[in-house]
């Protein structure tokens, strides 16, 4: 690269190669590092100058600070010993997709501001729909669908917000003087639902948390009762969110039984399959897409479990016009002939922000490098590891597995009680040898809320050896 005129010269090739090598080394040694960062609040900041430098510094000094300041302050999501939350897994090709996106530096708000950014994204969303066996209603017209299509959002939270706003606008278009809108989700639903609704102007008091059955899945009969009661009270049910794989325990709401209720009341049905949806790439797990043909929108996160860097949420809608009507504002300075021809997608109308990165590259690179087969192997490996861990827990009377154990998530509690479970999670994380997380949910046999530990298996490099080590760590950490 030529020296960039007003900025100091920068040897991009040399420093770029060094950064690639640093990352390769980091990913190799990540499993030796304490998974959860051990620093105290304020430590990272205290290592650095409190004011910006007047003059440019040498790159060597910058590179050194990565090891000195940044690494100790990381919680290592790319360690194969990371089992907390849900994963944010990656792979080499995906990292290079992010690099290329940054290097090209295009901003794909409109088709015309980089046709490749838009068209590759539409194609990738069609590829993904095919890989997951999603119904034609979510494909683009070019991909065998008709009125639907897919878009990459940063997160499932943003997908949720787009679905909520589209649902709201669809209802208001039918009746601009509709009364107070009400939404429904299970009591196990993700916090992003309450947050999205709040952003959309719908307070928590109008989000109904529908009771769940013993497997923590939404009760369809309760949904129907609640919707009917709300309608009788003059309220306007407009949105139901089904969790296919709840965050706490991978509980599965019965989409096919919720859909007729939504249809009867003209409610938007959004399916949030953020973690679980990716599993549909394997025929034996395709049950996670059950009912998708009845949903208005459906999302899953390749950035959780398809080896594609965060951020990459795949969000599909059955009626793109409903989404675009809700999110499109066309000012004069963005007018262009391609948009006016109606032949292209302008993805700015499918999301909250105006600008957008070229995120389809990382999907494209990952899918082409791994093939469907490779990605199936990834999912199957993790599912098998989770089963093997759950089996070992079931054989040990000190552990109580929360059943049904599903996909890559193993939830368990200790027979010794909630305090013991919490103490175990804290001790494991403090050890630095693994990181798990915890939640609180109603548990069998008595339905009482209890502390539950979560082991979420999905990191790209996680192997049987890491699960063996985790199992030993869990047992060694138990109180005597």
Which residues ranging from 58 to 77 are in contact with a copy of itself (CB under 8 A)? 59, 61-62, 66, 69-77
CB atoms within 10 A of CB 146: 13
* Shorter beta-carbon distance to a copy of itself: residue 93 or 277: 93
* Shorter beta-carbon distance to a copy of itself: residue 292 or 307: 307
Among 230, 438, 443, 467, binds a copy of itself (CB under 8 A): 438
> Binding string, 361-390, against a copy of itself, x = CB under 8 A?
x--xx-xxxxxxxxx-xx-xx---------
Alpha carbon distance, N-terminus to C-terminus of the chain = 62
Write down the least CB distance from residue 222 to a copy of itself, Å. 21
- How many helices and strands, by DSSP H and E, does the chain display? 15, 11
311 binds a copy of itself (CB under 8 A): yes
Phi first, then psi, for residue 57 (nearest 5°) are -105, 170
The reply to whether omega before 375 is within 30° of 0 (cis) is: no
Q: Which residues within the stretch 137-156 sit at the binding site for a copy of itself (CB under 8 A)? A: 142-143, 154-156
* Shorter beta-carbon distance to a copy of itself: residue 463 or 472: 463
Q: Which residues within the stretch 8-27 sit at the binding site for a copy of itself (CB under 8 A)? A: 8, 10, 12-13, 15-17, 19-24, 26-27
480 binds a copy of itself (CB under 8 A): no
Q: Which of helix, strand or coil describes residue 422?
A: helix
447 binds a copy of itself (CB under 8 A): no
Among 81, 101, 289, 297, binds a copy of itself (CB under 8 A): 101
- Please say whether the beta carbons of 99 and 309 come within 8 A: no
* Shorter beta-carbon distance to a copy of itself: residue 226 or 425: 425
Q: Which residues within the stretch 204-243 sit at the binding site for a copy of itself (CB under 8 A)? A: none
CA distance to 20, 54, 294, 304, per residue, from 168 (Å): 46, 50, 18, 28
432 binds a copy of itself (CB under 8 A): no
* Shorter beta-carbon distance to a copy of itself: residue 370 or 474: 370
* Shorter beta-carbon distance to a copy of itself: residue 260 or 374: 374
Q: What is the 3-state secondary structure (H, E, C) of 203-246?
A: CHHHEEEECECCCCCECHHHHHHHHHHHHHCCCEEEEEEEEECC
* Shorter beta-carbon distance to a copy of itself: residue 43 or 287: 43
Size of the site for a copy of itself (CB under 8 A): 159
339 binds a copy of itself (CB under 8 A): no
**What tokens appear for 56 in the block?**
């440019």
Element (H, E) at 469: helix 464-477
Beta strands across the sheet bearing 149-153: 149-153, 313-317, 297-300, 268-272, 236-243, 181-186, 207-210
- Please say whether the beta carbons of 185 and 243 come within 8 A: yes
**What tokens appear for 113 in the block?**
């501001």
Among 440, 444, 447, 472, binds a copy of itself (CB under 8 A): 440
> Binding string, 102-121, against a copy of itself, x = CB under 8 A?
xxxxxx---xxxxxxx-xx-
283 binds a copy of itself (CB under 8 A): no
Half-sphere exposure of 423 (CA within 13 A, CB side): 13
Stretch that binds a copy of itself, among 231-239, 324-332, 389-397, 469-477 (CB under 8 A): 324-332
Stretch that binds a copy of itself, among 49-57, 220-228, 234-242, 469-477 (CB under 8 A): 49-57
Residue whose structure tokens are 């993805």: 347
- Please say whether the beta carbons of 252 and 288 come within 8 A: yes
* Shorter beta-carbon distance to a copy of itself: residue 372 or 415: 372
Q: Which residues within the stretch 386-425 sit at the binding site for a copy of itself (CB under 8 A)? A: none
* Shorter beta-carbon distance to a copy of itself: residue 62 or 415: 62
Question: Whats the size of the chain, residue-wise?
Answer: 480
- Please say whether the beta carbons of 234 and 201 come within 8 A: no
CA distance to 34, 187, 471, per residue, from 477 (Å): 16, 32, 10
Residue whose structure tokens are 């409903």: 322
Q: Which residues within the stretch 156-175 sit at the binding site for a copy of itself (CB under 8 A)? A: 156-158, 161, 165, 168
């Amino acid at each position: 690269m030529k020296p960039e005129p007003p900025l100091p010269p920068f040897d991009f090739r040399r420093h770029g190669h060094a950064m690639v090598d640093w990352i390769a080394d980091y990913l190799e040694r990540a499993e030796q590092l304490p998974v959860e960062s051990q620093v105290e609040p304020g430590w990272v900041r205290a290592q650095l100058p409190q004011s910006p430098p007047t003059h440019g510094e040498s790159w060597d000094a910058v590179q050194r600070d990565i090891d000195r300041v940044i690494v100790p302050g990381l919680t290592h999501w790319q360690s194969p010993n990371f089992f907390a939350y849900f994963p944010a897994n990656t792979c080499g090709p995906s990292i290079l997709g992010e690099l290329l996106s940054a290097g090209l530096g295009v901003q794909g708000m409109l088709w015309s501001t980089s046709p490749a950014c838009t068209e590759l994204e539409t194609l990738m969303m069609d590829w993904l729909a095919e890989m997951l066996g999603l119904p034609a209603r979510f494909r683009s017209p070019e991909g065998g669908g008709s009125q639907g299509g897919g878009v990459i959002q940063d997160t499932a939270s943003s997908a949720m917000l787009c679905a909520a706003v589209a649902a709201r606008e669809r209802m208001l278009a039918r009746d601009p003087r509709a009364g107070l809108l009400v939404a429904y989700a299970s009591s196990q639903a993700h916090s992003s639902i309450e947050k999205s609704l709040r952003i959309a102007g719908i307070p928590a008091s109008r989000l109904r948390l529908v009771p769940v059955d013993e497997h923590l899945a939404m009760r369809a009969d309760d949904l129907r009762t609640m919707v009917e009661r709300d309608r009788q009270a003059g309220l306007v049910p407009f949105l139901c969110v089904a969790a296919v794989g709840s965050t706490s325990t991978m509980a599965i709401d019965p989409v096919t039984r919720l859909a007729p209720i939504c249809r009867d009341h003209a409610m938007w049905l959004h399916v949030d399959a953020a973690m679980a949806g990716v599993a549909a790439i394997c025929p034996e797990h395709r049950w996670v897409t059950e009912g998708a043909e009845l949903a208005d929108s459906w999302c899953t996160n390749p950035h959780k479990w398809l080896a594609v860097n965060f951020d990459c949420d795949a969000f599909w809608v059955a009626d793109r016009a409903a989404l675009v009507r809700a999110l499109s504002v066309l000012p004069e300075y963005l007018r262009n002939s391609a948009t006016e021809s109606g032949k292209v997608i302008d993805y700015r109308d499918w999301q909250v922000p105006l600008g957008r990165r070229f995120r389809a590259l990382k999907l494209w690179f990952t899918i082409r490098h791994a093939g469907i087969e490779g990605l199936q192997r990834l999912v199957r490996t993790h599912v098998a590891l989770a089963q093997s861990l759950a089996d070992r827990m079931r054989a040990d009377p000190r552990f109580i597995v929360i059943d049904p154990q599903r996909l890559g998530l193993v939830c368990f509690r200790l027979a010794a009680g909630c305090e013991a479970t919490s103490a175990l999670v804290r001790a494991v994380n403090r050890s630095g040898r693994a990181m798990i997380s915890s939640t609180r949910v109603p548990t069998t046999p008595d339905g009482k809320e209890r502390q539950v530990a979560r082991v979420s298996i999905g990191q790209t490099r996680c192997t049987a050896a890491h699960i063996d080590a985790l199992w030993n760590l869990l047992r060694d950490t138990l109180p005597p």
